[in-house]
Structure 1
Amino acid sequence: MGFLQLFYVASVPVIKVLLISVLGLLLALDRLDILGETARKHVNHMVFYVFNPAMVSDNLAKTITWESFASLWFMPVNVLATFLIGSALGWVLIKLTRPPKHSEGLIMGCCAAGNLGNLPIVIIPAICKEKGSPFGDPDVCHKYGMAYASLSMALGSVFLWSYVYNIMRNSASKFHREGNADDDISKLKASGENPESLPNECSETLDPSKDAMDDAYTLLLPDAESVENKKIPISEKIKSHLTKISRSVNWKAMFAPSTIAAIAGFVIGLIPQIRNILVGSDAPLRVVENSASMLGDAAIPTVTIILGANLYRGLKGTSIMWSTTVGIIAVRYIFLPIMGALVVKGAIKIGLVNSDPLYQFVLLLQYALPPAMNIGTMSQLFGGTESECSVIMLWTYALASVAVTLWSTYFMWFVSS
């Protein structure tokens, strides 16, 4: 299949996403205000709690069996690789551009987390339906493509809310602590007071001679905590560290509705007794699966419209970090896809990935996507980077129409050659 034909097949779904996104952006304009801030919030909740879970559980339940499950084990590894490689590239970008401290977590998050859910669910079915698609029969391609995209969405949600969430939370808390300390010092200087002349109630912590004596005393004596730690069994130390880690993870967010729906879809698909009751034209409770399928069909157009409406905030963004924004675009659309192609190619060569070209295409596509939209939710949650996030999202998604099309074309040639 020629390059131009592959380019056409890859460009059609991206153009569809672009057109519907523009519609969502127009509906969010202040003159129309059909998808204003309150409306977007409610529609986002519908997608998050109803449409996406219904689509994920339905697609996995219909396609996952023990045979297909055994062949999909590499996808969690691949998704984790996208996060790790992306965060490493984000760390390099921070060292090169030296952005403001409060935006470091946002930059790391944008480089690490791609939109592994919404865009693959829109792009893959559209590619399957196009004439000249390298993935064979459109119905079979759609069936398995939606299963791969649904699993990608569930895995992306888990890693996003466990890995990126903690990166942004730690960055924000560190910045707030440093900011509070700087504010305290600036207030003292502004008041004209010398820290040494503070009232007696503070002298206990600010007396240099006493601090020096305390330091010498603590140096001469063994640390009580270290002595106590020596007596603590290794098993208790491991248990203590695991407890700290579990407390730092946002379990409620990590087990989002889509993740729970993915677990339910796996259970239905892998247990024949339940599958025979719910899935199939002869299943006695097929109306349940049909209802979930009907709700899931509403996910794709709704998600795409909301995507455009959410980007409207970027048009009103005032804080633009050009060097950082260009760096994030380079990470997501140049360096990460190149490294991803090397990872997937290596996995194919040593036999870790099966020969299904559609499955290989999904693995490759996971490296060439714009940042996850939920990063905007996290920036609002921790505060301080909302305007920067809106601008980054606007430019990365505006360029996605070109970048994703070109990489999709190359990836289709790669898996079909």
Structure 2
Amino acid sequence: MMMLTTILFDGTHANVLGSAVPVLKILFMCGMGSALAHPMIRVINPESCKVLSKLVFALFLPCLIFTELGRSVTVENMREWWFIPVNVLLSAVIGCGVGYIVALICRPPPQFFKFTVVLTGIGNTGNLPLAIIGSVCHGDNPFGDGCFQRGVAYVSFAQWVAVLIVYTFVYHMLEPPMDFYELVQEIEPVEDPAEMPRLLEAEWPGVKDAQTDDTRAPLLSRLFREDSRNEEGSEGVSPRRGRCLVEPRVVRKIRIVAEKTPLQHILQPPTVASLLGIVVGAFPQLSSILFGQGSAPLAFFTDALTILAAAMVPCVMLVLGGVLSGGPGRSELGLRTTIGICFTRLVILPLVGFGVIFLAYQLGFVPKKDKMFLFVLLLQHAMPSAILSGAMTSLRGYGESEASAVLFWQHIFAVISIAVYITIYLQILSTI
């Protein structure tokens, strides 16, 4: 305890208030967004918020990811950075394990059990970490030259893993329960054009346009219920009896689930930008044409993308502030479960993540002297729930209001939790 106190408050290190400044910058930008969305001002109205969100999603964020990742990544770097995507995977596995315990303790309504596991376990690895790094690296920073470029590259390098988790595991975990689907499958939500878009749409604008009958169908529940009926009625004639080769039941289940998984949505603009940045970095000749020192033939192109990328952080914070101004909305999740998800995601899991990163550091899995590398790894465990996971509830047509409410409260209280953890992280990293 004495050691931790010395690290945090020793006068030879940056003071605690100074370490919290990056979060104060973000809070101010979000506050500006909320103020501009106020009914008396209304500079940011629902339509402009949607347009701005689409610009971030389709233009500013991809430009940022491509330019910074393309400049930083090489084949050698990819070998050194292997623990970044592994850390995202570990964060999801550990988080969902703890989320299962939260669901057992808080006892949400039965239809929200898997919802509780996912919203607890899957953290934000996209817009918010990038915004925090942009704030930390602006002006004097503890990470030295190239702070922003390295930070964005590290975060972007894990994008494909996070997106893959969301569009496979999260997608199927958040399918509507069978009983719910049978009762309300014909009901379509009515959207008021005068209302601010929900927080769920901040990371995937137009998610409702991707909704189909297949995305709203309880696939896994139907598979298991169908197999149960087949076992009970096995004395009858099997529909597969006439085949020469009978498909094993497990193989059949895997095939159906794979066919119904919307992998086409994985190739969203930010993910494509991440993959393109990795491809460019893997080929030095291509990288020198785009990002080479001096007179690179396509330097004008990457310079233009860099200018557009600079708009990402302020725009995403203004959108977030404007969306949060709409309040949490209605939820049937229950106060106890909502508190359980928020407390676990914002307080418990960052502590668990710190233990994971400390162990990885001791085992030599991460570069010893790269403070930004360690900071990004720690940040991946301290984020609120992934907004994209919440967007999956819109795609699946179930639990959208509950996800919106949980994400709202998490982002409100994350101002405090992230400020505390960033302060601790920066103070500890200053001693390395």
Aligned to 1:185: none
Aligned to 1:208: none
Name the CA shift for 1:384/1:215 in 2 (closer, same or farther; >3 Å): closer
Name the CA shift for 1:223/1:128 in 2 (closer, same or farther; >3 Å): same
Name the CA shift for 1:125/1:38 in 2 (closer, same or farther; >3 Å): closer
The answer to whether the 8 A contact 1:56-1:265 is kept is yes
Aligned to 2:199: none
1:322 aligns with 2:322: no
- Aligned positions of 1:195-206 closer than 5 A: none
State the 1:58 CA deviation.
0.7
Cα deviation digits, residues 70-112 of structure 1 (max 9, x gap): 1111111110111112222222222222222343344233212
The answer to whether the 8 A contact 1:313-1:390 is kept is no
Name the CA shift for 1:276/1:324 in 2 (closer, same or farther; >3 Å): same
Cα distance in 2 for residues equivalent to 1:21 and 1:297: 17
- Structure having the larger proportion of residues in helix: 1
1:366 aligns with 2:380: yes
Partner of residue 94 from structure 2, selected from 78, 85, 88: 85
- Aligned positions of 1:140-289 closer than 5 A: 140-168=146-174, 170=175, 172-177=176-181, 179=183, 218=233, 221=235, 224=238, 231-232=245-246, 238=251, 240-280=252-292, 281-289=294-302
The answer to whether the 8 A contact 1:154-1:258 is kept is no
Name the CA shift for 1:295/1:288 in 2 (closer, same or farther; >3 Å): same
**Larger gyration radius, structure 1 or structure 2:** 1
Cα distance in 2 for residues equivalent to 1:216 and 1:120: 49
Cα distance in 2 for residues equivalent to 1:118 and 1:26: 21
The answer to whether the 8 A contact 1:158-1:259 is kept is no
The answer to whether the 8 A contact 1:155-1:259 is kept is no
1:111 aligns with 2:120: yes
Report the count of equivalent residues: 377
Cα distance in 1 for residues equivalent to 2:336 and 2:170: 22
State the 1:22 CA deviation.
1.4
1:298 aligns with 2:311: yes
The one-letter code sitting in structure 1 at the alignment partner of 2:170 is V
- Aligned positions of 1:323-402 closer than 5 A: 323-355=336-368, 356-402=370-416
The answer to whether the 8 A contact 2:240-2:246 is kept is no
Which region of structure 1 is more displaced relative to structure 2, 379-388 or 41-50? 379-388
State the 1:248 CA deviation.
3.1
Cα distance in 2 for residues equivalent to 1:91 and 1:216: 29
Cα distance in 2 for residues equivalent to 1:175 and 1:14: 43
The one-letter code sitting in structure 1 at the alignment partner of 2:76 is E
Cα deviation digits, residues 112-137 of structure 1 (max 9, x gap): 22221112111123223454x442x2
Name the CA shift for 1:233/1:130 in 2 (closer, same or farther; >3 Å): same
Aligned to 1:3: 8
Cα deviation digits, residues 230-257 of structure 1 (max 9, x gap): 95477x975x455323223221222221
SS of structure 1 residue aligned to 2:353? helix
The answer to whether the 8 A contact 1:311-1:390 is kept is no
Structure 1: 5+ residue stretches without partners: 182-213
Cα distance in 2 for residues equivalent to 1:77 and 1:231: 39
Which region of structure 1 is more displaced relative to structure 2, 294-303 or 405-414? 405-414
Cα distance in 2 for residues equivalent to 1:79 and 1:404: 18
Name the CA shift for 1:349/1:229 in 2 (closer, same or farther; >3 Å): farther
Aligned to 2:189: none
The answer to whether the 8 A contact 1:278-1:285 is kept is yes
C-alpha RMSD over aligned residues: 3.0
Cα deviation digits, residues 327-381 of structure 1 (max 9, x gap): 1122112221122112112222222222122101111110011112224433333
SS of structure 1 residue aligned to 2:146? helix
Ranges of 4+ aligned residues in structure 1 off by more than 6 Å = 214-217, 225-230
The one-letter code sitting in structure 2 at the alignment partner of 1:12 is V
The answer to whether the 8 A contact 1:279-1:289 is kept is yes
The one-letter code sitting in structure 1 at the alignment partner of 2:316 is V
The answer to whether the 8 A contact 2:95-2:121 is kept is yes
Aligned to 1:415: 429
State the 1:312 CA deviation.
2.4
Name the CA shift for 1:232/1:404 in 2 (closer, same or farther; >3 Å): same
The one-letter code sitting in structure 1 at the alignment partner of 2:163 is S
Partner of residue 311 from structure 1, selected from 304, 310, 324: 324
Cα distance in 2 for residues equivalent to 1:389 and 1:317: 10
What's the TM-score, normalizing by structure 2?
0.78
State the 1:20 CA deviation.
1.0
SS of structure 2 residue aligned to 1:313? coil
Cα distance in 1 for residues equivalent to 2:295 and 2:123: 39
Aligned to 1:31: 40
Cα distance in 1 for residues equivalent to 2:97 and 2:183: 26
